[in-house]
Structure 1
Amino acid sequence: MTEALTAALRALLPPGVALVQADPSAPVTGLLPQEAAAMARAVPARQREFAAGRRAARAAMITLGLPPAPIPQGGDRAPVWPDGLTGTISHGAGTCLALVARIGDFAGLGLDLEPATALPDDLMDTVCTTQDRARHTSALAGRLIFCAKEATYKAQYSQSRQLLEFHDLAVTLSPDVSRFTATLLRPCPPFAEGTSFSGHLVIEDGIIAALITLPRESNTVFPDRRQ
Structure 2
Amino acid sequence: MIADLLPAPVASAWRRDDTEPVALYPEEAAAVARAVPRRQREFATVRLCARLALRRLGLPQAPLAPGVRGAPRWPHGVAGSMTHCAGYRAAALARTTDVLSLGIDAEPAEPLPEGVLDGVSLPGERGHLDELAARLPGVPWDRLLFSAKESVFKTWYPLTGRELGFDEASLVFEPAPDPRGHTGTFTARLLVPGPVTGGVRRDRFTGRWLVREGLVLTAIVLTR
What's the TM-score once normalised by structure 1's chain length? 0.85
Which residues of 2 match residues 16-31 of structure 1 at below 5 A? Answer: 16-26=9-19, 29-31=22-24
Give the SS at the match of 1:111.
strand
What letter is aligned with 1:174?
A: E
Structure 1 residue 127 displacement after superposition: 1.1
Give the alignment partner of residue 81 of structure 1, picking from 67, 74, 94. 74
Is residue 206 from structure 1 mapped to residue 221 from structure 2 by the alignment? Answer: no
**1:94 aligned residue (84, 87, 98):** 87
- How far residue 93 of structure 1 moved from its aligned partner, in angstroms, is 3.1
Structure 1 residue 120: Cα displacement: 2.4
In structure 1, the residue corresponding to 2:188 is in which secondary structure?
Answer: strand
1:111 is aligned to 104
How many pairs were matched up?
A: 209
In structure 2, runs of 5+ residues without a counterpart are 177-182
Partner residue of 1:184 out of 162, 180, 190: 190
In the alignment, which residue of structure 1 is the partner of 2:167?
167
Query: What is the match of residue 143 of structure 2?
Result: 143
- Tell me whether 1:123 sits opposite 2:131 in the alignment: no
Q: CA deviation at 1:27?
A: 6.3
CA distance in 1, matches of 2:112, 2:210: 17
Cα distance change of structure 1 residues 114 and 154 upon mapping to structure 2, 3 Å threshold: same
Q: Which runs of 5+ in 1 are unaligned?
A: 1-5, 217-227
Moved more, 193-202 or 109-118: 193-202
- What corresponds to 1:48 in structure 2? 41
Taking the aligned partners of 1:56 and 1:129, their CA distance within structure 2 comes to 34
Q: What per-residue deviation string (whole Å, max 9, x for no partner) do you get for residues 73-120 of structure 1?
A: 113311000011110000013110000110111111111111111222
One-letter code of the match for 1:157? Y
1:194 Cα deviation from its structure 2 partner:
8.0
Structure 1: which 4+ aligned runs deviate by more than 4 Å?
191-194
My pick for the range that moved more, 23-32 or 40-49, is 23-32
CA contact under 8 A between 1:53 and 1:89: conserved in structure 2? yes
Question: Larger strand proportion, structure 1 or 2?
Answer: 2
Specify the SS of the correspondent of 1:76: helix
Corresponding residue for residue 15 of structure 1:
8
Q: Relative to structure 2, which stretch is displaced further, 61-70 or 193-202?
A: 193-202
Residues 196 and 202 in structure 2, CA contact (< 8 A), matched pair in contact too: no
> Cα RMSD between the aligned structures?
2.0
The amino acid that maps onto 1:203 is: V
Percent identity over the alignment is: 39
